[in-house]
Structure 1
Amino acid sequence: MKNVLLKGGRIVDPANGLDRGGDLLVVDGRINQVGDVDTSVLSDGFDVIDCTGRLVLPGLIDTHGHVYEHVSGRFGLNPDLCGVRSGVTTLVDQGGPSCMTLPGFIKYIIEPSKTRVIPFISAYLVGGLEGHFYPELYRPECADVDATLTAIEGNRDLIKGIKAHAELGGFTRWGVSVMEKAAEIGRRSNLPVYIHFGQLWPLPEEGGCDVDPDTILSEVVKLLKPGDILAHPFSRHPGGFVTTDGKLHPLVKEAIAKGLKIDVGHGSHFSFATARIVLDEGVLPETLGSDMHGYNTAVPVAPGMPSEHPDEGHIFKGAVKFSLTSAMTSMLALGVPFDHVVRMVTTNAAEMLGMAGELGTLTPGAEADVSVLADERGHWELRDNEGTRVPAERLLSPLFCLRGGVLFEADAEILPEIAVA
């Protein structure tokens, strides 16, 4: 299906300032008309889909996923499971491939996937193996600046950023050394560095912790350039946007003024309580990624893979199922305006990737990446991994998407069922 009329939906396209009822016509896999479409001129080769009461949005962009399936162990999900089968047309893999494993990522993930998959290359030689569970693989000696830059230069059309970690377990072991290398890769490639904040690795068994988690943000921000991205502002783990005394870190607003960007990076790190502190201080993230992976999402285990990881409980215990659209619902429940939530997953995400005008738009002539969502009113209850429960009166859920004009039903078994209050 590459010729289709989406009829009678609410079309929201921030790139063109549109929020109106109307039709969207796709011809030969590209946006042809938006608004009032004269159906009398359509040939029999068109499929008409009634979108009355539905949201018709530019194809959703998930800025944070982990989809190096099989190579990164149970950590890597199937890209189409998180992508087109969840109503998402573009998915950013955050740090799965490295300079060593990028060729396999291109051949076995990017090329066969129906979803558009964009890599942010790992700053580490091993990439996202086993979901970064073995911290010694991420020490300074395992980050090769020149090799990573070589991989970037040979794949400029694919690689749109660099993934690194700034967290308590690593800082206790090596200080700022790894982040210095990641920042150098970002400067020399002129690509954004996407940085995980909030503790990821357990502390060393010997020596304990001699690092104040509230100093991590300060140490990292001074290394960064405008356009670099601070992830997990709503993390429940120490070493992020909220200090150990429960207040917004004083450097966050300085970082924003410096031109740094913020991505929600939802995942199992997400805390409604932390989000409330950050949002109440007027800090509003630009983009929204789901951060779905095999340790925080209930999926069948592939043959030959362990059913669980021995260290799994440290960070991911008791994970709540979620998706990009359920993360959008969480943002709405927190009071983030609807138009901003749409921007987070369309125009703002496209700008983060350096692909504004190419993605996240319904401009006539653009490739027909379109997401159609149900937009319900009622009473639901959202829950995070801390057990905090938050009421929601608006629920967004995916119905289907068009990727290059081809229709994919949102039938992924990992999509969550939100409890009715």
Structure 2
Amino acid sequence: MTYDLLIKGGHVLDPGQGLDGIRDIAIADGKITKIAAGIPPEDAHRVVEIHGAGRHVVPGLIDLHTHVAAGAITEGVGMGMCDPDDIGVRSGVTTVVDCGSVGVANLGVFPAHILPRARTRVAVMVNAGSHAHTMPGPADVRSLDDISRDVLQRAAAHNPGLIAGVKLRIVGPVFQTAGEEIITTAKAAATDLGVPLMVHIGDSTARDEASAARRAELTRFLLRSFEPGDILTHLCTPNSGRVLDPAGNPYPEVAEARANGVVLDSALGRGNFGIEVARRQADLGLYPDTISSDLTAGGQTFHSLLECMAKFMSIGYSLADVVKAATGSAAAALGRQDELGAIAVGRDADLSVIDVVEGDFSFTDTIGQAFRGGYGLVPVRTLKAGEEFSPGWGTHPWGWLPASAGDGDGDGDGDGDKA
């Protein structure tokens, strides 16, 4: 057999498939047709040699929490959105999930404008709030009436197969009085559609003691309300409503929900990752099932999915751990583990070639606390169904790597000039 493309000599790492070593990957018609050592180069029309210390071939990365409704929101009025390909195939990521960037009123922007242009695979979760992000402000739901099960069903009927989940954010004053009712209604709406409910915990607006205690109550209620496949997002948030009690121990509902098949997603973002929270959780063995970025336009110059993975490596997670969390585990969270997130014969040739760079790097969490890590991750090449893409310039003004500790600009020359 003659292959279209041969990825040769790379260190293939797919924890879900038990792959960890030098392998060649043969591709024909956009599918993986053979995985083996020593496939003859003359058997392929084109050969890509993978060289370099630290260079790995992993399953196409999946970012389970992003915001890619670019063009759906008026710039400067609503939440800034990313172009799906900027944070997707040009960032080493083959699949992104938009998590509630739009509500029912403008859900149609995805099939009409965004999906036809995207080279990255995009899955869409609709916001539970009917007026989500149409106005400035942090809250998507301002009253119980904002969630209409009937309207959500009509939106799904007009967009068959589009809605992969319902997204709710426990943010805003209405949750102080009507939180349980809102959660229950959003859960019922997701059940109506036969899709998971993803819920954002961590309310930075709930700063006083009573509001913080109330958000903790709602997180516990939420965990009890979840069913298998539902997703808690922002596991490591330092904000009110986090999964750790004031003494730093997980609420009992966390273990119960996980045992019941609930997905715990990290979704770092600019506002919901506390390094001390993540370290405490790691010490307790409370690991996120999935690592995602929660990227918005503002976060695009702050981090990437690969940098989120490197942040977890800074607290002791292995490369295999973070790759699994952004591939096989993310595919399972989407209910698409039979088609995505693995390097396997017969699957779409979704591959991410990344460099694992050792160094002394500086990161920053949500509250501005700096911390150091020993690894940076850099995209080298992306294949989505066999189509090749080169990376863009990078997350930071100087490229992909985080700043070198003591340098300040990541270029390694110590001058801090971001050149």
* TM-score, L = length of structure 2: 0.87
Taking a change above 3 Å as real, the CA distance of residues 31 and 129 of structure 1, as seen in their structure-2 partners, is farther
Once residues 139 and 357 of structure 1 are traced to their aligned partners in structure 2, the CA distance between those partners, rounded to angstroms, is 39
Decide which of 145, 163, 182 is 2:186's aligned counterpart: 182
- Counterpart for residue 301 of structure 1: none
- Counterpart for residue 273 of structure 2: 270
- Counterpart for residue 82 of structure 1: 87
Once residues 341 and 364 of structure 2 are traced to their aligned partners in structure 1, the CA distance between those partners, rounded to angstroms, is 29
Once residues 407 and 387 of structure 1 are traced to their aligned partners in structure 2, the CA distance between those partners, rounded to angstroms, is 37
Once residues 136 and 367 of structure 1 are traced to their aligned partners in structure 2, the CA distance between those partners, rounded to angstroms, is 36
- Counterpart for residue 313 of structure 1: none
Matches within 5 A, 1:17-416: 17-43=18-44, 45-53=45-53, 54-74=55-75, 75-129=80-134, 133=137, 135=139, 138-153=142-157, 155=159, 157-167=161-171, 169-172=173-176, 174-201=178-205, 209=211, 212-268=214-270, 269-298=272-301, 321-415=302-396, 416=400
Please identify, of 248-257 and 402-411, the stretch whose mean Cα deviation from structure 2 is larger: 248-257
Once residues 138 and 268 of structure 2 are traced to their aligned partners in structure 1, the CA distance between those partners, rounded to angstroms, is 22
Is the 1:66–1:94 contact (alpha carbons within 8 Å) kept by the matching residues of 2?
Answer: yes
Once residues 140 and 386 of structure 2 are traced to their aligned partners in structure 1, the CA distance between those partners, rounded to angstroms, is 45
- Deviation for aligned residue 1:180: 1.4
Partner of 2:200, secondary structure, is: strand
In structure 2, give the amino acid aligned to 1:161.
G
Partner of 1:80, secondary structure, is: coil
Partner of 1:357, secondary structure, is: coil
Cα deviation digits, residues 153-186 of structure 1 (max 9, x gap): 5545332211112246441253322211111012
- Quick one: higher RCO (CA 8 Å, sep 6+), 1 or 2? 1
In structure 2, give the amino acid aligned to 1:399.
V
- Deviation for aligned residue 1:92: 0.3
Once residues 292 and 170 of structure 1 are traced to their aligned partners in structure 2, the CA distance between those partners, rounded to angstroms, is 26
* TM-score, L = length of structure 1: 0.86
Once residues 279 and 66 of structure 1 are traced to their aligned partners in structure 2, the CA distance between those partners, rounded to angstroms, is 27
- Deviation for aligned residue 1:80: 0.8
Cα deviation digits, residues 61-90 of structure 1 (max 9, x gap): 000000111223442111111111111000
Partner of 1:81, secondary structure, is: coil
Taking a change above 3 Å as real, the CA distance of residues 136 and 330 of structure 1, as seen in their structure-2 partners, is closer
Once residues 164 and 197 of structure 1 are traced to their aligned partners in structure 2, the CA distance between those partners, rounded to angstroms, is 9
CA RMSD of aligned residues (A): 2.4
Count of residue pairs brought into register by the alignment:
393
Please identify, of 93-102 and 237-246, the stretch whose mean Cα deviation from structure 2 is larger: 237-246
- Deviation for aligned residue 1:109: 1.1
Once residues 179 and 366 of structure 2 are traced to their aligned partners in structure 1, the CA distance between those partners, rounded to angstroms, is 29
Is the 2:216–2:242 contact (alpha carbons within 8 Å) kept by the matching residues of 1?
Answer: yes
Cα deviation digits, residues 337-382 of structure 1 (max 9, x gap): 3322111111111111111121111111211111000012222222
Is the 1:97–1:119 contact (alpha carbons within 8 Å) kept by the matching residues of 2?
Answer: no
Partner of 1:267, secondary structure, is: coil
Is the 2:279–2:315 contact (alpha carbons within 8 Å) kept by the matching residues of 1?
Answer: yes
Q: Which runs of 5+ in 1 are unaligned?
A: 299-320
Q: Percent identity?
A: 28
In structure 2, give the amino acid aligned to 1:121.
V
Once residues 9 and 362 of structure 1 are traced to their aligned partners in structure 2, the CA distance between those partners, rounded to angstroms, is 13
Is the 2:141–2:147 contact (alpha carbons within 8 Å) kept by the matching residues of 1?
Answer: no
- Deviation for aligned residue 1:35: 2.2
In structure 2, give the amino acid aligned to 1:401.
T
- Counterpart for residue 304 of structure 1: none
Is the 2:138–2:171 contact (alpha carbons within 8 Å) kept by the matching residues of 1?
Answer: no
- Deviation for aligned residue 1:195: 0.5
- Counterpart for residue 310 of structure 1: none
Cα deviation digits, residues 129-169 of structure 1 (max 9, x gap): 46x72537542111111221233355453322111122464
Taking a change above 3 Å as real, the CA distance of residues 224 and 353 of structure 1, as seen in their structure-2 partners, is same
Cα deviation digits, residues 168-221 of structure 1 (max 9, x gap): 6441253322211111012222311111000055689xxx84953321212222
Once residues 213 and 156 of structure 2 are traced to their aligned partners in structure 1, the CA distance between those partners, rounded to angstroms, is 33
